[in-house]
Amino acid sequence: MKLIKTYDMDLNEEWSTHLQELLIASFPEVYPKERLFFKQIPHCRILAFTSDNQLIGHVGLDYRMMNLNGKAVRVMGIIDLCVSTAHRSQGLGSLLLSEAEKRSRESSDFVLLFADHEKLYSKHGYKAVNNTCKWLKIDHETLATIGIGCQKVEGLMIKEVGTLSWSEGELDFLGYLY
């Protein structure tokens, strides 16, 4: 097993093709077929390869400032975590998650994600939070800005990785919501 950090500008055609296949297979029906992101390119990605160079796992990272109740905080966002069906339930999703966290510890106050199912994340110390979010709305079909959203969003989970404690209240994403 190899984990490799990469940037989209450095992805070659072969890796792009395999990543597209993995994303579409992992998020069937919903993942765009012609690009490697829903709304915006992540800042970097961690890819997992078998020893014979088969791409079997992915996590995208979005590193940015957010505003939590008036305080600027450093947040590492987890995007499109996925593992190929044949390699699930063997700890690879957890490994990708902890690798993303490892890279966040020095640089971030919180790791943040949106979970469809909480189980994997609560096992790894994430907690469901209930903040009112403000974000830049992007229509993922037209890739156009359509306004500012302001409401509670299902599935928001965070992990404290620095010295700051999370607080309920208002969370301004200072950008799009992944």
Tell me if residue 23 falls in helix, strand or coil.
helix
The Cα 61–Cα 22 span in angstroms is 17
Contact between 117 and ligand COA per CB under 6 A: yes
- Nearest distance from residue 50's CB to ligand COA, in Å? 13
Amino acid at 125: G
Are 41 and 140 a contacting pair, CB within 8 Å? no
Contact between 88 and ligand COA per CB under 6 A: yes
Give the residue, chosen from 120, 136, 174, 177, that forms a contact with ligand COA under the rule CB under 6 A: 120
Contact between 169 and ligand COA per CB under 6 A: no
Contact between 33 and ligand COA per CB under 6 A: no
Contact between 22 and ligand COA per CB under 6 A: no
The Cα 121–Cα 64 span in angstroms is 21
Between the alpha carbon of residue 39 and those of residues 34, 36, 177, the distances in Å are: 12, 9, 8
Give the residue, chosen from 92, 111, 157, 158, that forms a contact with ligand COA under the rule CB under 6 A: 92
Interacting residues with ligand COA (CB under 6 A): 26-27, 81-83, 88-94, 115-117, 119-120
